[in-house]
Amino acid sequence: MLRHPERLSELNDNPQVTLLDGDLTNPTDVIQATKDADLIWSAVVDHDQTNRPTKNIIAAAKLNRVERVVETSLLGLYNEVPGEFGDWNRDYCFNGDPTGTTAVLADQLLAESGLTYTTLRLPWLNDRPEVNYTLTHRHDQFVGVSGSRRSIADPSLGANDSLGIGDPTTEGATRPVY
């Protein structure tokens, strides 16, 4: 499900893909999109003031008996990013303090949902043609400041965890590496 599914029209002939026009803040759209799904993968950060996307995903997963949810989020949810970059990221993404932000609350909602979930705390992404990452868990110090889109791939990792995925060669950088 996405807004403007015509952007992925090259997938129309793939029998494993169904493109639906929808909105994560609309419960009916989410229920319809997750019917007969094996896994729900939400590739947006929930910045909605009342966490409607995450709440709708949880409700639809339970209604449609989808036991696995993967949701993307931001590095720094738990002040786990050290150094100058961590300060910059916290200011840029969380106005100085992630406590109580919608992204943190979305992760907490998933943790309390009873579903098997993974929150991917993604770094600033780049298009490097590599797979190179270090996993960190909730409250572990985050490693790196950037990571390649190719490194974000294995949905079986991190069941019932909040993972940080960063390129260890970018550790200590003061800004994202592109």
The reported pLDDT for the residue numbered 156 is 59
Interatomic CA distance for residues 48 and 148, integer angstroms: 26
Asked whether residue 175 is domain-assigned, the answer is no
Asked whether residue 177 is domain-assigned, the answer is no
The reported pLDDT for the residue numbered 109 is 98
Asked whether residue 133 is domain-assigned, the answer is yes
Q: In what order do the strands lie in the sheet with 116-122?
A: 40-42, 68-74, 116-122, 161-166, 134-136
> Which letter, b or e, does each residue of 41-58 get, where b requires 16 or more Cβ atoms within 10 Å of its Cβ?
ebeebbebeebbbbbbbb
Asked whether residue 94 is domain-assigned, the answer is yes
Q: What pLDDT, in 10s, does the model give residues 61-86?
A: 999 999 999 999 999 999 999 999 99
Q: What pLDDT, in 10s, does the model give residues 82-107?
A: 999 999 999 999 999 999 999 999 99
User: What pTM does this model have?
Assistant: 0.84
Angstrom CA distances, 131 to 43, 62, 114, 151, 178, stand at 19, 33, 31, 5, 14
Burial of 118 (0-12, 13-18, 19+ CB in 10 A): buried
pLDDT score of 178 more than 80: no
Asked whether residue 176 is domain-assigned, the answer is no
Asked whether residue 166 is domain-assigned, the answer is yes
Asked whether residue 87 is domain-assigned, the answer is yes
Q: What pLDDT, in 10s, does the model give residues 8-42?
A: 889 889 998 888 899 999 999 999 999 999 999 99
The reported pLDDT for the residue numbered 157 is 63
Range of the domain at 21: 5-170
Asked whether residue 52 is domain-assigned, the answer is yes
Q: Are strands 68-74 and 40-42 parallel, antiparallel or unpaired?
A: parallel
Residue 8: CA atoms inside 13 Å, Cβ hemisphere, count?
A: 14
Kindly indicate the confidence band of residue 131, based on its pLDDT and cuts at 50, 70 and 90: confident
CATH number for the domain harbouring residue 106: 3.40.50.720
Structural domain count, the chain: 1
**Contact between residue 27 and residue 10 where contact means Cβ atoms under 8 Å apart:** no
